[in-house]
Structure 1
Amino acid sequence: MTHSAPSLASARAILDRLIAFDTTSHRSNLALIEWVESYLAEHSVKAARVADESGDKANLFATCGPMVEGGVILSGHSDVVPVEGQEWSSDPWTAREENGKLYGRGTSDMKGFVALALAWVPAFVRGSKPVHLAISYDEEVGCKGAPAMIERLRKTIPLPRVAIVGEPTSMRIVTGHKGITVHEVQVRGHEAHSSLVNHGVSANAVAIELMHHLMEIARDLRENADPENGFDPPYPTLTVGVMEGGQAANILAGHARFEFDLRCPPGYDAAEILAPFYEACAAQDAALKGNFPDTRVHVEKLASAPPMTDAGSEDAVAFVRRLTGENSPPSNVAYATEGGQFQQAGFPTLICGPGSIEQAHQPDEWIALDQLEAGTRFMARLAEELS
């Protein structure tokens, strides 16, 4: 790649390259990480990996500029959600421009922000304050990858002025988001002919009862929430995203599984909310084993990420406002991000990035070109501010 002065064109070229990497969360992201390492090396920026246990995925962080306090963390995740089962009008791994929009998986969530940050590396390396780039894996499956990288950052870089997580906010400042926990429930039944329900246990029937229990918890959360807490929706949400089970209509299902997530505004205790459900699962497990010892109900927490609040964000907000030119009050969002993890590590944190969450995770995901232009102005002002 031939490098020129930072510009929208250079960001577009990098974004096209990033989109071409299929970094769906169940795949490796190493090809993208290797490309970014090579790009940074061309600008004499040394990067460090923080790999997962398998070695198939890695976070990447690097510092542009001097190792002094008062810099900025620019954080983005490399993984994207699946395209399987979605009806795309064109290849999701090839950027396509049409009618003021750029289509492709990850354009909005959130390779657009990562591309903008990388495009401005030639300017950041000349600054008197540093820019710390932080690229994570497995954000889309419960923010699993970032904590190990954030811990390394906490131990190795001087305290920055702000960590900016570039999730799509239409370049508006967000200072609060919900936390998330993701659980899997597995039910092992006892197969029998469906006419002889007393000779077996349908794992599907047990799973349906447990999902109904979750929906009752969800209803109670909805009915008892504070409508003025600044979130939309204001209540914790509990949804079942995956359910599987059974082999045939005339067989009592031998296995069933479902996954659910709970998203809570700050101030809620997810473990306390789910305690009755865990008790129901334990009671079901004991009751089933009383008749069929080979049966089982097992619950496992797959992932969790803390909420983010506006605590300690006043200076960070004032600083980022100068970069965006946006003067509207900071807001809260219902989705979870790695922002709460950065905040938990002691970094002043906010969310601000190009694109809209409404386009994320959709077939024909897109980002408006004027959002990339706004991101270009943001990065240019940031480079000037840190110079």
Structure 2
Amino acid sequence: MKKELTKKAIDLLKTLIETPSFSSKENETALVIESWFKDHNIRYHRNKNNIWAINKHFDESKPNLLLNSHHDTVKPNKGYTKDPFKAIIEDDKLFGLGSNDAGGCLVSLLACFTYFYAKKNLNYNLIIVTSAEEESSGPNGLNSMLSVIPEIDVAIVGEPTQMHLAIAEKGLVVFDAKVKGTPSHAAHPNNDNAIYNTIDVLNWFKDFKFDRKSPVLGDVKMTVTQINAGQQHNAVPSEVDLVIDVRVNDKYSNEEITKILKDKSPCTQIKPRSLRLNSSSIPKNHELVKAGIELGRNTYGSPTLSDQATLSCPSLKLGPGDSTRSHTADEFIHLSEIEEGIELYIKLLKHVL
């Protein structure tokens, strides 16, 4: 059964690659995923572009384990030398947009769910959500499903981790900030030039350190990523706009980070765009983590953001592929990684189910 599921999963991934699915425009890949459930006689539901299902012998008295990955993609960058919408196999590599992030994870989790779907007397109920809008952190992705599906007790989020166990993930807060000054004609003296004032502000952000370091996720990382000011060459602007990207470890809440920056940063104004993308983790002694360690997998903290950020329950990020390939030109995943992913997902769940 596993061999046949693996073959079908790879065929499904080829079809998904050749079906464009930019964030918020995933209708066609949703239809492709629906066909998987139909072909395997699995009752499923659709909410916008999110497709979800529960195991055949769902028991409300048992805890619920979520399997989740996303089927949306970013847009291909200009560095592609291969057609991003053509599934090309060369040796062991399957090339195509979304192959690694997160198509390989998605089809592997679908195969795993299908393997366990009709089994009786499981210790957990299984819920699978193939979600939309992960890449854009949009309003109609996994976050919109949490009030629709049964309440989740623990989750496995499929993202490329080389099938190692990401037991924690940094959260994200993006801040918009302003540095103000006195507008003037460029020909006249001005000791309150907003652009020059920004030099000290940029140095403050570069040098500021948050006190609390996480043993799993390390330091909070704060980076100024955008700067904008001025309309014409002969006019000193009244203000400079900054965007600051803050990756939050599990020792701070997003609210705490916001208070610190409002109290201490030298900006005239600073405000967060959203506080909902929190850091996430799962205890190292959780049975899922212990099972993964028994299978020879390593644990680590992930600096990249995923749909874990929308979950309030313990969650584990785990999947085939390599995060460093995500969003790169000529994205690919090894076919052997998908085979290993399905095998390890099934072995992991057998330990707890």
> Is the structural similarity TM-score above 0.5?
yes
Q: Which has the higher mean CA deviation after the structures are superposed, 206-215 or 39-48?
A: 206-215
1:20-99 equivalences under 5 Å are 20-25=18-23, 27-51=24-48, 58-68=49-59, 69=62, 72-84=65-77, 86-99=78-91
CA contact (8 A) 2:71 2:130 kept: yes
CA distance in 1, matches of 2:41, 2:239: 54
Tell me by how many angstroms 1:71 deviates: 5.6
SS in 2 for 1:378: helix
Distance 1:304 1:209, change over 3 A: farther
Q: Which has the higher mean CA deviation after the structures are superposed, 9-18 or 360-369?
A: 360-369
1:210-225 equivalences under 5 Å are 210-217=201-208, 220-221=209-210, 224=211
Q: Which has the higher mean CA deviation after the structures are superposed, 369-378 or 71-80?
A: 71-80
CA contact (8 A) 1:169 1:354 kept: yes
Structure 1 residue aligned with 2:304: 335
Asked whether 1:262 is paired with 2:255, we answer no
Amino acid at match of 2:289: V
Write out per-residue CA displacement over residues 80-121 of structure 1, whole angstroms, 9 at most, x where no aligned residue: 33334x411212222222243222222222111111223455
CA distance in 1, matches of 2:267, 2:114: 60
Choose which of 125, 134, 139 in structure 1 pairs with 2:129: 134
SS in 2 for 1:174: strand
1:1-387 equivalences under 5 Å are 6-25=4-23, 27-51=24-48, 58-68=49-59, 69=62, 72-84=65-77, 86-120=78-112, 122-128=114-120, 129=122, 130-142=125-137, 145-153=141-149, 156=150, 162-185=154-177, 193-196=185-188, 210-217=201-208, 220-221=209-210, 224=211, 226=213, 229-231=215-217, 234-253=218-237, 257-279=241-263, 284=268, 299-302=271-274, 304-311=276-283, 314-320=286-292, 325-328=295-298, 330-342=299-311, 344=312, 346=313, 348-381=314-347
Tell me by how many angstroms 1:369 deviates: 2.5
Distance 1:333 1:66, change over 3 A: same
CA contact (8 A) 2:175 2:270 kept: no
Query: Hey, which of these two has a bigger chunk of helix by percent?
Result: 1
SS in 1 for 2:129: strand
CA distance in 1, matches of 2:115, 2:260: 54
SS in 2 for 1:134: strand
Amino acid at match of 1:36: I
Structure 1 portions without partners, runs of 5+ = 52-57, 285-296
Distance 1:258 1:95, change over 3 A: farther
CA distance in 1, matches of 2:292, 2:102: 19
Distance 1:351 1:205, change over 3 A: same
Structure 2 portions without partners, runs of 5+ = none
SS in 2 for 1:370: helix
What is the percentage of aligned positions where both structures have the same residue? 21
SS in 2 for 1:214: helix
CA distance in 2, matches of 1:191, 1:50: 51
Tell me by how many angstroms 1:66 deviates: 1.8
CA contact (8 A) 2:72 2:134 kept: yes
CA distance in 1, matches of 2:260, 2:315: 34
CA distance in 1, matches of 2:277, 2:40: 34
Amino acid at match of 1:374: E
CA distance in 2, matches of 1:81, 1:152: 26
CA distance in 1, matches of 2:51, 2:241: 34
Tell me by how many angstroms 1:164 deviates: 1.0
Amino acid at match of 2:27: L
CA distance in 1, matches of 2:112, 2:240: 49
Distance 1:263 1:277, change over 3 A: same
CA distance in 1, matches of 2:320, 2:41: 27
Tell me by how many angstroms 1:229 deviates: 1.1
CA distance in 2, matches of 1:257, 1:28: 31
CA contact (8 A) 1:183 1:261 kept: yes
Count of residue pairs brought into register by the alignment: 346
Amino acid at match of 1:139: E
Structure 2 residue aligned with 1:287: none
CA distance in 2, matches of 1:50, 1:186: 39
Write out per-residue CA displacement over residues 276-297 of structure 1, whole angstroms, 9 at most, x where no aligned residue: 543578973xxxxxxxxxxxx5
SS in 2 for 1:332: strand
Distance 1:242 1:41, change over 3 A: farther
CA distance in 1, matches of 2:5, 2:352: 17
CA distance in 2, matches of 1:210, 1:250: 23
